[in-house]
Each structure stands twice: as structure tokens, then as C-alpha cells.
Amino acid sequence: MSPSMVMVDETRKEEEDLYQKGVKHLSENGIAKLPKKYVWPVSERPNNATKGEVPYTFKSNLNLPIIDFADLQGPNRSQVLKALANACEHYGFFQLVNHGIPCDVTSSMMDVGKRFFELPFEEREKYMTSNMYSPVRYGTSFNQTKDGVFSWRDFLKLMCHPLSDMLPHWPSSPLDFRKLVVSYVNETKYLFLMLMEAIIESLGLAITNNNITRQDDNDNILEQLKDGSQLMVVNCYPPCPEPHLTLGMPPHSDYGFLTLLLQDEVEGLQIQLREKWFTVQPIPGSFVVNVGDHLEIFSNGRYKSVLHRAIVNSTRTRISVASLHSVPVTTTIRPWPKLTNEANPRRYMDTDFATFLKYASSTEPKKKNFLESRILI
């Protein structure tokens, strides 16, 4: 091999090593131009902002349905259930206000997540792994071992159930990390279960003494969800030198029943409706909640998981915390029998979390491709 070819190979290796360290590391090193590894094809780039716009911003042009959680517990429950059904059916997303989780719990979660990403790279690097079954994973892009083009995101993924088993694996820095995250995990799990009870009721399935009336078997979906999986993802999107060329996260749907997203005041979440992308305006203190693939399967397609993505900007770091909830990893998910009939036949085959992980670890995730692999008709 000629000296020039050796130099090219060494340069490529250095660049690859740099990319693997993540975008926080790149941002801290003051790069002024977006590396080619992060430049998305023209057809997939954000297209609703001007290239030279400074600061690089997007117009907020979508007001998601707002669900007042407090009203679910009062005399207006029936009206809120109708609004919930409409949101899940036509938007796949809603903003949840008055959710009851104390402000100090949510603000502490955002703060400790931000402080984790401010740790030296050598501390964060301890948790880097490509093992999707690991109880804690630090990484970059969407899947740094599979992505052809990288996304402008670093993440910390924490498996949260069973909590006593997972906790010892979590980061021990910052020193208050585990304490603060445990409080947040417990609060969001309870909120998720309360929301699912309402969503099941909104589908027209009768609930009596916390049990769903069923004709075919004695399984109880709410009981399964109580002992179900919970995955938390803390996302960091640092300032990007050329945000019009890249994405923070590519278009995708979430695998579970519901995702509860806590975010700061920096815009970045976009959802796709009617083949167009809309930016969601954050409401301080609220959660953005979205339908996952498992709920779409469970509802036999009545409630839709919707494509969403993250955009980035050139001036401000954005932090978000996604809490993804579903049934236990070994539980089979199928359309609820009472939601199928001759006029509305079963649309999806059985699946489980293990099938999803096997699929996700073997291919680059794109859009709703896993859910589409489950469609029967």
C-alpha cells in the first residue's frame, strides 16, 4: 500500500473514531462545518427553513390536542375520553397538562439529564455499547453501528424495569443521578397506567374493578402493563453548525403502547400529518404523549402511531426525556378480539418485544418499517 493510501486510511479511521464519540464531543471541539457523515440526502433534509437563517428556527405551526389530566378524574371524564379518542385516532399525539407530577420531579429530571451530558467524555464513554439488551446505553445518532448517515444526537438509554435489578447498572455520576431518576421513573409509570386505563375506556372496552370485560380469555392488559417494560431515553441535541443539512432523529414511530416526552422550551419535535411536517410548540410543564406501534396493533389500527422526527438548531442545546412504556418483553401483543369483526377484520399478526429487538438490531430503522412488517391486510 502506498504512503498516500495509508494516510487516507488513517484519516478515515480518525474521522470514524471522532464520529463514534458523538455530537456533544464534536460540538465541544468547536467544529464550524458539518462533517459529511451527518449530511442527509436532499430529499430527507428539513425543508421549511431558509438555509442562511440565523438563528436557525422553525415556525411553530401545529397546536396538538390538549388533554387535561385533572379533568379525567372529575365529572367531565366522558368529554375528555372523547377528546382522547379523537387525538389518538387523528393525530397520534396530544399534549398532557395538569398531569399531577410535581414540578420539582420534572425539573430535576431535566437538570440531571443535562448535567450527565456535561460530564467529561471519558465518564460518558463508560456506558457506550452496541448491545441493545444492555440495561444502560450511551451512544450517538439513532444506531451508530447501523446508520449509513448519522443524526445530530447523543442519547442515554436506561432500562427501568424491574427497577431494583436495573438501578445498580445506571450511571453513578452525577452523584444525585440515580435518586432523581428513580423518582421520575416511578411518577411516569403511574401516570402511564392512569392514561392507559382512560385510553382503553375510550376504545369502548368496559372496565369493572380495574378489569377489562373480555369474552375470549382471562388475561388483563392493565395488569400486564403494571408489570410491563419501561425504557427511558435522555436525548441531547447540541448546537449544529449547519442544521439545514441534517436531522436530530430521522422519521420513526415508537415501538411501545405510549411514549411520554418531557422537553425543554427549545423547539425540535416535528410530526408528520397529511404528508407534511409540523413543528410542535412546547407547553411548559406538559408532556407530549404519542401512540406507539403496540397500541396501534392492540387497537387494530384505530389508534395510529405517527411518524415523528427531531430537527436541530445552530445556537441552543435541546434536551428531552422520552419514557417508553409497554407490556413485559415476553408478552405477545395482538389486536384486542373485541375490536375485530367481519366489518373490521384483524389487521396485524402477533408480535412481542423480542421480535422487535431482533428486527431493530439487524437493520437500520426507517419510518414505520417494523410495524409494517406486522401487517396482515
Q: 287-318, pLDDT tens digit by residue?
A: 999 999 999 999 999 999 999 999 999 999 99
Measure the CA–CA gap between 277 and 329, rounded to whole angstroms: 32
Model pTM?
0.89
Measure the CA–CA gap between 315 and 313, rounded to whole angstroms: 6
pLDDT tens across 188-225, in order? Answer: 999 999 999 999 999 987 544 444 444 333 348 899 99
Query: Would you tell me how many other CB atoms lie within 10 Å of the CB of residue 175?
Result: 9
User: Quick check: 129 and 123 in contact, CB under 8 A?
Assistant: no
**Closest to 319 in 3D by CA, of 170, 156, 149:** 156
Measure the CA–CA gap between 219 and 200, rounded to whole angstroms: 14
32 Cβ neighbours under 8 A, 6+ residues apart: 241
pLDDT tens across 67-101, in order? Answer: 999 999 889 999 999 999 999 999 999 999 999 99
Q: Is 313 exposed, middle or buried (0-12, 13-18, 19+ CB in 10 A)?
A: buried
pLDDT tens across 233-258, in order? Answer: 999 999 999 999 999 999 999 989 99
With 90 as the cut, is the pLDDT of residue 361 above it? Answer: no
Query: Would you tell me how many other CB atoms lie within 10 Å of the CB of residue 217?
Result: 7
- 136 - beta bridge partners? 158
Q: Which residue has the cell 388475561?
A: 219
**Assigned CATH topology for domain 56-372:** Jelly Rolls (2.60.120)
User: Quick check: 180 and 109 in contact, CB under 8 A?
Assistant: yes
More confident: 240 or 53:
240
Measure the CA–CA gap between 288 and 233, rounded to whole angstroms: 14
